[in-house]
Amino acid sequence: MKVLFKPWLLALLCLNVLSVLTVPTAQAHGEKALEPFIRMRTIQWYDVQWSTQKFNVNEEVSVSGKFHVAEDWPISVPKPEASFLNISTPGPVLIRTERYLNGKPWTNSVSLEPGGDYEFKVVLKGRLPGRYHIHPFFNLKDAGQVMGPGVWLDIGGDPGDFRNTLKTINGEVIDMESFGFANGVFWHLFWGVLAAGWLLWWVRRPLFISRYRMLDAGLEQELITAQDKFIAKAVLVGVPVLVLALNAVTANRYPDAIPLQAGLDRILPLPAQVNAGTVNVDAIKAEYNVAQRAMLLQVSVDNRSQGAVRIGEFSSSNVHFMNAELADVGHMPGKDDVSNNGLSLDNNTPIAPGEQRTVTIEVRDAAWESEKLDGLIKDADSRIGGLLFLYDDVMGKRYISSISAAVIPKFN
């Protein structure tokens, strides 16, 4: 038979091949995948910084910062009774060597308290050269990953120079990159061959139709032979005996082995600062203008401190909207997650000590759309959350308030 290829079919095939070859490399880790109300009102990151963004294989880099566990935790998200802080990387390009929470070494999952602030630090070691987009993130049980702010890390050097050695309790120095590799491969092959042999023993004979005819003829007793029963009994007894015997050998060879930890750490939040509560902020309402990509927040600020304060920043889902008139208190300019002119006030004069003022904050920026935060108005839980930063320029103090409010959409 002669097969004819039409020109349009060949062109379509070429386009498919080109589309596969020209697909850009993924540069994100799903930080925009979760619903906006989860990203805004669960883990609220701030002051996150990296010790360096350029280093070599075998050199260490650390990420440190703080996060606030929102008081207005979404009702549809399980409470953070088991959470794990990790680093999101595109493969094993780094290894984690140390991790601290509030200055304490931390290896297990942890129970977080809504309303609490925590300080973290993670120390990493370069493993594979390249340029990678890296995030700290919290894995919340039954909720998913809440990403922290991401950065690009440039790792130089030769991958062959990487070393990951440690000394065991008996003084032996082992290479974690290859320790137990041959043993693992052997046992995977052993159990794979045993399983394949067990399956082949049963499928070597005619199946389905032939066996159905024997059952229909009342010859079911002949489907399983005495040899089949003998092999089944041998496997039934032999496998548990082999596993128990090998477990005894391993325990005898490594008597001081420490099992993988499955506990839950209890680490209290940072103690309340002396100036905490001296500037109280209460969100009254929030409106989102879809056409203008602007969030209008009305807040009541009660300044009980001893100095005048000004609103300098609103942070939500790792995006920082800065008050342009307070440029000296903002983040470094040019960063992707910073809108240096995104925040404006109806009254930008300092709020005097003892004064209580209702302030209207306009947060206008394309980031609401590019970061998929405008989808908030389509959520079943349409509430905004974030951190509002107020500054006392004279006394050099910063006040942070976690705010939230139901969002009313505006379409004109």
CATH superfamily placement of domain 181-253: Helix hairpin bin (1.10.287.710)
| In the chain, domain spans | 36-168, 181-253, 279-410
Q: Which of 198-207, 272-281, 309-318 has the highest mean pLDDT?
A: 309-318
Domain 181-253 identical in fold to domain 279-410: no
Determine the pLDDT at residue 163.
Answer: 92
CB 101 within 8 A of CB 267: yes
| pLDDT over threshold 80, residue 306 | yes
CB 111 within 8 A of CB 85: no
Determine the pLDDT at residue 148.
Answer: 92
The structure's pTM equals: 0.80
Q: Check residue 73 and report its DSSP letter.
A: -
State which fold the 279-410 domain adopts.
Immunoglobulin-like (2.60.40)
Alpha-carbon gap, residue 34 to 197, rounded angstroms? 45
| pLDDT over threshold 90, residue 259 | no
Class of domain 36-168: mainly beta
Alpha-carbon gap, residue 259 to 10, rounded angstroms? 58
